[in-house]
Amino acid sequence: MRYAALFAAVLTLAACHDGNMVQQARYDSYERAALFPDGMAMQRPPSGVVARDAAQQAAATRRPAMSLALVQRGRERYQIYCVPCHAADGSGQGIVRARGFPHPPDFHAERLKAAPDTHFYQVMTNGYGVMYSYADRVPPQDRWAIAAYIRALQATGLPPRREEPARAD
């Protein structure tokens, strides 16, 4: 018992050295610091370092092979995320237009028929114009599936719709 009290006293005194654990010295990323030979606080990672999710990101950016299952998955995801703006037929006549939002593009327009599949993937990933990014909502494989479904919509042969002039009643 006597040794336990002595041990606790030694630990308490050892923990109370000059340093203040609450307010420690810290450096901002690009601040000068004498910690390293180059005088900077932020250092380059050692050669050969790879991000933990680098393999997953690389795999996600590769377009999967076209298949019926991919198009069906794309249709399901398209109906969830895209129909409110782009409409079920891809015409851009979705419900948001009736609520005062800008007119989304018609997927049947020649410009978008000529666009590569990566265009649709990148738009969903980064956003475009007034469309914000869906990267946090739609996983990469589902973005490819939606792009495949957009190609299927374009293959239906529907002509692009022209915007009707507003009536002055």
Which domains occur in the chain, in start order? 63-154 (1.10.760.10)
Say if residues 117 and 136 touch (Cβ distance below 8 Å). no
The answer to which of 5-14, 104-113, 140-149 has the lowest mean pLDDT is 5-14
DSSP bridge partners of 32: 40
Closest among 100, 109, 106, 115 to 147, alpha carbons compared: 115
Residue 149: CA atoms inside 13 Å, Cβ hemisphere, count? 25
What's the residue count for the chain? Answer: 169
- Tell me, what DSSP letter sits at residue 116? -
Question: pTM to 2 decimals?
Answer: 0.64
Residue-wise burial string across 75-107, b where 16 or more C-beta atoms lie within 10 A, e elsewhere: bebbeebbeebbbebbbbbbebbeeeeeebbbb
Q: To the nearest whole number, what is the mean pLDDT of the chain?
A: 85
Q: How far is Cα 145 from Cα 99, in angstroms, rounded to an integer?
A: 28
Q: How far is Cα 14 from Cα 6, in angstroms, rounded to an integer?
A: 12
Q: Is residue 15 predicted with pLDDT exceeding 70?
A: no
Q: Is residue 79 predicted with pLDDT exceeding 90?
A: yes
CB atoms within 10 A of CB 41: 16
- Across the range 67-81, mean pLDDT stands at 96
Phi and psi angles of residue 32, each rounded to the nearest 5 degrees, phi first: -75, 140
Q: Is residue 147 predicted with pLDDT exceeding 90?
A: yes
